[in-house]
Amino acid sequence: MTESPAPAPAGAPAPVPAGAPEPVWIRPEPTPVRRPVLRGGVKLIIALLIGSAVAVVLGVYGKVHEPTGIAMNVAGFSGPLEAKVWLATGAFVLALVQLFTALAMWGKIPGLGGAGWTGPVHRWSGRLAFLLAVPVAVHCLYAVGFQYYDLRSLVHSLVGCLFFGAFTTKMIILPQHDRPGWVLPTVGGLVFTGLTVLWLTSSVWFFTTVGVQF
């Protein structure tokens, strides 16, 4: 009588029949361990903190600084207030150009998604808008200061500080390629909204209260 082979222990591979090819056992690759790196979210928090610090510093300076009543006098205008409202109007018009070109670059305007001129126009309109906004901010901080004697002046002062804080944040995150996709449109929208509120509470108020004059 031929003895039958002893059963294989539990968990052991089954014996290979005679003449069958040897099985190839594939060992699974170990899961790589991810090392901590500085992600886009951390960079975004840092940019937000820096932008917030800029807004706070501007607000504190505008509050503690003694207003001088005058900070600039641009040739062609009858006074610094007239210069301020027209420079702010120019910055707002350029901001509208930035909004239009941004929508075109993001494919939101049919027929302009691949237009090569939208990028340069977007960048240069933003640069020119900032150049026009700087003397306006200097006048507000140095000549007027942080004012809150009525709702309009309070909103204008608060939004002015927040605008430059948001603008600083945008400039920091702009060259970052690992930022989340929603960040730049959101921060850019906040900058545009802030500039719109500033224009409404300064230039539009002046034109409707004092009149359109240079």
pLDDT digits (tens, 9 = 90+) for 75-126: 677 777 788 889 999 999 999 999 898 888 877 887 776 678 888 888 899 8
Query: Is there a domain that residue 22 lies in?
Result: no
**3-state SS string for the chain:** CCCCCCCCCCCCCCCCCCCCCCCCCCCCCCCCCCCCCCCHHHHHHHHHHHHHHHHHHHHHHHHHCCCCCCCCCCCCCCCHHHHHHHHHHHHHHHHHHHHHHHHHHCCCCCCCCCCCCHHHHHHHHHHHHHHHHHHHHHHHHHHHCCCCCCHHHHHHHHHHHHHHHHHHHHHHHCCCCCCCCCHHHHHHHHHHHHHHHHHHHHHHHHHHHCCCCC
Query: Is there a domain that residue 17 lies in?
Result: no
Query: Is there a domain that residue 1 lies in?
Result: no
The tokens for 150 are: 């009525």
- pLDDT computed for residue 37 by the predictor: 41
Closest-CA residue to 195 (of 153, 165, 163): 163
Query: Is there a domain that residue 98 lies in?
Result: yes
| Mean per-residue pLDDT over the chain, rounded | 80
The values of phi and psi at residue 168, to 5°, are -60, -45
- pLDDT computed for residue 17 by the predictor: 58
Residue 4 has pLDDT above 80, yes or no: no
CB atoms within 10 A of CB 182: 8
pLDDT band at 38 (very low <50, low <70, confident <90, very high): low
Q: Are 209 and 69 in contact (CB under 8 A)?
A: no
**Model's pTM, two decimal places?**
0.74
Domain with 131 in it: 40-209
Q: Are 103 and 109 in contact (CB under 8 A)?
A: yes
- How many structural domains comprise the chain? 1
